Amino acid sequence: MKITKLVLLFNYKKILLGFLIALISFVVSTQFETAFNILFKVFSVLIIINIIASIVASYLLYDKSDLYDVEMLNKIVDFKNIENAILIHASFDPLSQKIEEKFPSTKLTTCDIYGNRHEHESGIKVSKKVFPPNPKEIKINPSELPFEDNSQDIVLAVTAVHEILNHEKRVLFFKEAKRILKSDGKIILSEQFRDSVNFIFFNIGAFHFLSENQWKNAIYEAGLRIKENSKITPFANIITIVVS
């Protein structure tokens, strides 16, 4: 439940607002004796159901799935044969130290996207107490990755790259990733999509993410190719990207 609690902390204002709107709608419903009575009550119930559904979905995605599981990642990436790897996050890193402990032979560089939307949120302080930042992490501009050409085996980004809000900058990120990757290197991208499932469970929160086509356009424009795109949960995908 650690990550779900953090999700609640980051979104508590929205959750409280939802409960308040549901309460007001229910109170208003008592003032009518017509069909409006039922409409307002149904509206209140739908808001409550949506809040509960989003919390359950967050738990299933972040705490019950393999999203941050090193063993699952090792099925996609054979870390024992990886010399240099990059892990990119957006002010939230429950993974890098697990990888370092499990695969000490891999030289892992942990990168925090500078200026992401989470950076100045009040919940970040609590988040960093629960998951202390990697002491060796560096802050990066994702449009200018500070690594040599053809130097990395893997670029791993878990629920992070959607924080690059501008399409052109996302294309630049993928071009930079292509530049620093070895010829047989891969980008492993884990993201929620702006799709029907996430709309049902997260409502307008799904606008926080990108559609599958937006990802494909940025990847292809950078001269990269999607090797595999699969669901890790009903709410998130893992995309394996290779040099064309």
- pLDDT digits (tens), the chain, 244 positions: 667 777 776 777 788 888 898 898 888 888 766 667 888 888 889 889 888 988 888 888 877 777 778 877 888 888 888 999 999 998 888 899 999 999 999 999 999 987 666 656 666 666 777 777 888 899 999 999 999 999 999 999 988 999 898 999 999 999 999 999 999 999 999 999 999 999 888 888 888 899 999 999 999 999 999 999 998 888 999 999 998 7
CA–CA distances in Å: residue 90 to residues 109, 119, 147, 157, 162: 14, 8, 19, 9, 9
Radius of gyration over alpha carbons of the chain, in Å? 20
Burial (CB count <10 Å: 0-12, 13-18, 19+), residue 198? buried
Query: Is this model's pTM higher than 0.75 or not?
Result: yes
**What residues have CB less than 8 Å from 91, skipping those under 6 apart?**
112, 113, 116, 118, 119, 124, 127
Nearest residue to 112 (alpha-carbon basis) of 90, 83, 136: 90
How many of the other CB atoms lie within 10 Å of CB of 78?
11
**What residues have CB less than 8 Å from 210, skipping those under 6 apart?**
162, 191, 193, 194
How many of the other CB atoms lie within 10 Å of CB of 119?
14
CA distance 56 to 152: 37
- Provide the edge-to-edge strand list for the sheet that holds 236-243: 138-140, 107-113, 84-89, 152-158, 181-191, 236-243, 224-233
Nearest residue to 156 (alpha-carbon basis) of 92, 116, 110: 110
Task: Please give the span between the terminal C-alpha atoms of the chain, in angstroms, as a whole number.
Answer: 40
CA distance 146 to 135: 18
- Residue at token pair 């705490």: 63
